[in-house]
Amino acid sequence: MTTIQHPLEDATRSGMIPHIWCNGCGNGVILGEFLRALDEMNYDVNKIVVVSGIGCIGRISGYTNTDSFHTTHGRALALAVGLKAANPSLKPVVISGDGDLFAIGGNHFIHAARRNVDIAVICSNNFNYGMTGGQSGPTTPPGAYTTTTLYGNIEHPLNLVQFAAACGAVYVARWTAIHVRRIRESIKKAINKKGFSFVEIITACPEEYGRRNKIPDPIQNMKWLRDVSIVESRMDPKDAVIEPDKIVVGEFVDIEKPEYTDLLLGKAESIRSRLEKEGKLSNVTL
Amino acid sequence: MSRRLPEVGGVFLQMEDEIASMAAIIGASYAGVKSMTATSGPGFSLMQENIGLAAMTETPCVVVDVMRAGPSTGQPTKTGQQDVMQAKWGSHGDYEIIALAPSSVQEMFDLTLEAFNLSETYRCPVFVMSDEIIGHLMERLTIPKPEDLQLVNRKRPTSPPKEYQPFRADDTLVPEMATFGEGYRFYATGLTHDETGHPQTDSAEHHASLVKRLCDKIRNNVDKISRVQRVSLDDADVCVVAYGSVARSALSAVAEGRAKGIKIGLLRLISIWPFPDDIVEEVAEQVDRILVPEMNYGQLVREVERNAGRRKVKSIPRLGDALHTPEEILAEVSG
């Protein structure tokens, strides 16, 4: 009998597959496209560090055959900033959920983006806390039913691409789990971009979100994403709405801006060369 | 540090909050550098979440807590020793850390260095539990020449990347530590994990063996980690157990007491966690009475009581912006 190896077998961590995700969950698409992107772009994978937080998608750092860190809830970006500052040759890729990155971790998102730290952020937005029973979160749409909005959500959701752009991200895109090739291309751009880049992926969550909002079937869920998505690249991200019958997807920001660790090292270099000219450079180096 | 580190090839970051600071030093440590952060009580509370992560992922790192008066915002910049139990028990779950308590500016330097060495040796967070008095003190400091410093670095992997198991330990119970970016492609998680680093969230055996190892790698080495100073204890009837700035006052109390003919001595705890049980027990056996002055409402005194057998242990709590005077300590010698 011959065994056929999956083309991405070597890109995953041996012994960790099968993953924990439900049938029809979009997180598998993110894992697959992230690994295919790495495979196609010939990036030095030894320099990639996948950092994740808590939640369904948080388990992704265990599945990729990379250096990886599964942090506490919301803290992936803060840990990634420390990694990057200590060794700027590393490229942290933070892959986490909407609740992790924008509720408990919202403060770290603001400041990592504001500083323009060279980190690629991939956010799986499933409109709820899927792992813990389907509670509402910062992206739950108005009127949606979750285990903590049993009478319909009364809150205004955060538009993640608008927020990321406002915080200073240099690359911002949104796709849904059906846009597999576009996800792959955006992940490549995010990894190659020097600076804070953000890719939002609307992931179907049939089991928790879908079941309570009349889209419980995975195929039906994917068809819904296909039917309501409109590609509007270069649109002002504040107008990139997520509504029941319309999800605007595309690339919204792609700009250049000095990157944090470049500035950090550049500043340190200028300090040391000034001290050297003045004959005051310490013989101690770390 | 923001002035000095760029001058010598280091990196200084001011993070957005203390939660982020603690996360960042874990990331930096996994990137292969020695990392530290410094704070006071409110920030130390925020750091507790990721102190647990550092304990679980066996991250060498150093946290300086210059203790002030709490709870909550309390009295900013007023002194206290109210975080010493939090240092041991602040994050949820069973784990062990190491905590040192400097009594002088010189010890701020020496013990910070020692904290790094201990964190690299045992792969755990190490705390320098200072207080406002030491933090604002100005006194003579001798900085050794770089070549005279004794520096310890973490054990590096001895096996090639494909065979490397990031959480497999030898008899020391401390695993070898690879660095991100070198091709080891390893995984660290705050979940219960096995020797390969893979999550083991259902296995009671894996959980028990991991948690025991995290604790025992410290507990088995209490005698190596413990640092104390003994003053005039040989013939003492009364022993003062003190740490941090309070130990300075206790030292004066011993001198004044001896001048009055009182057989009093001092056991100064330089390391407070893991608690030096055996040393306190041995000293307790030689004296009649133990005094424990602390700038809190009685915290480490409980650890002393645990080791004092039937000896009388007198807590001398002090709350508010000042040290105990030597007279306040001496007043408790009898009665």
User: pLDDT tens across B266-283, in order?
Assistant: 999 999 999 999 999 999
Q: What is the pLDDT of residue B320?
A: 87
Q: What is the pLDDT of residue A271?
A: 96
Handedness of CA A134, A135, A138, A139 (dihedral sign): positive
Residues B27-56 have pLDDT tens digits of 999 999 999 999 999 999 999 999 999 999
Distance CA B96, CA A136 (A): 36
Asked if CATH classification 3.40.50.970 holds for the domain at A9-257, the reply, yes or no, is: yes
Contact A231, A252 (CB under 8 A): no
Structure tokens at B303: 């650890």
Interface of B with A in 119-148 (CB under 8 A): 146
Q: Work out the mean pLDDT of chain A and round it to a whole number.
A: 96
Distance CA B228, CA B84 (A): 16
Q: Closest CB to A78: pick one of B23, B190, B198.
A: B23
Quick one: what percent of chain A has pLDDT higher than 90? 94
**In terms of DSSP bridges, do strands A120-125 and A197-202 run parallel, antiparallel, or are they unpaired?**
parallel
Distance CA A160, CA A14 (A): 34
Chain A with chain B: Cβ pairs closer than 8 A: 153
Q: What is the pLDDT of residue A1?
A: 74
Distance CA B204, CA B201 (A): 8
Distance CA B124, CA B218 (A): 9
> B149: nearest CA in chain A?
A284
Residues A8-66 have pLDDT tens digits of 999 999 889 999 999 999 999 999 999 999 999 989 999 999 999 999 999 999 999 99
Number of helices (H) and strands (E) in chain B: give both, helices first: 12, 12
| Contact between B182 and A108 using a beta-carbon 8 Å cutoff | no
Q: Does residue B182 belong to the interface with chain A, where contact is any CB pair within 8 Å?
A: yes
Distance CA B172, CA B182 (A): 25
| Contact between A75 and B50 using a beta-carbon 8 Å cutoff | yes
Q: What is the pLDDT of residue B335?
A: 64
Q: At B333, is the secondary structure helix, strand, or coil?
A: coil
Q: How many CB atoms lie within 10 A of CB A141?
A: 17
Q: Closest CB to A83: pick one of B6, B30, B52.
A: B30
Indicate whether this complex's ipTM tops 0.95.
Answer: yes
Question: Phi first, then psi: what are they for A181, rounded to 5°?
Answer: -70, -40
Residues B292-334 have pLDDT tens digits of 999 999 999 999 999 999 999 999 999 988 899 999 999 999 8
The angle that helices A106-115 and A160-167 make with each other, rounded to 10 degrees, is 50
Q: Closest CB to B182: pick one of A46, A110, A275.
A: A46
Q: What is the pLDDT of residue B236?
A: 98
Q: Residue with structure tokens 């704070």? A: B39
Q: Residue with structure tokens 């860190």? A: A69
Half-sphere exposure of B36 (CA within 13 A, CB side): 21
Residues of A in contact with B188 (CB under 8 A): 68-70
| Contact between B185 and A45 using a beta-carbon 8 Å cutoff | yes
> A286: nearest CA in chain B?
B9
Cis peptide before B274 (omega within 30 of 0): yes
Q: Does residue A82 belong to the interface with chain B, where contact is any CB pair within 8 Å?
A: yes
> B23: nearest CA in chain A?
A79
- DSSP output for A90-156: -EEEEEEEHHIIIIITHHHHHHHHHHT-S-EEEEEE-SSBTTTT-B--TTPPTT--BTTBTT---SP
Q: What is the pLDDT of residue A244?
A: 87
> B20: nearest CA in chain A?
A78
Structure tokens at B249: 């006052």
Q: What domains, with CATH codes, occur in chain B?
A: 1-225 (3.40.50.970), 229-330 (3.40.50.920)
Q: What is the pLDDT of residue A282?
A: 84
Those residues with Cβ within 8 angstroms of residue A243's Cβ, 6 or more apart along the chain or in another chain:
A141, A228
Average pLDDT over residues B191-202: 96
Total residues belonging to chain A: 286
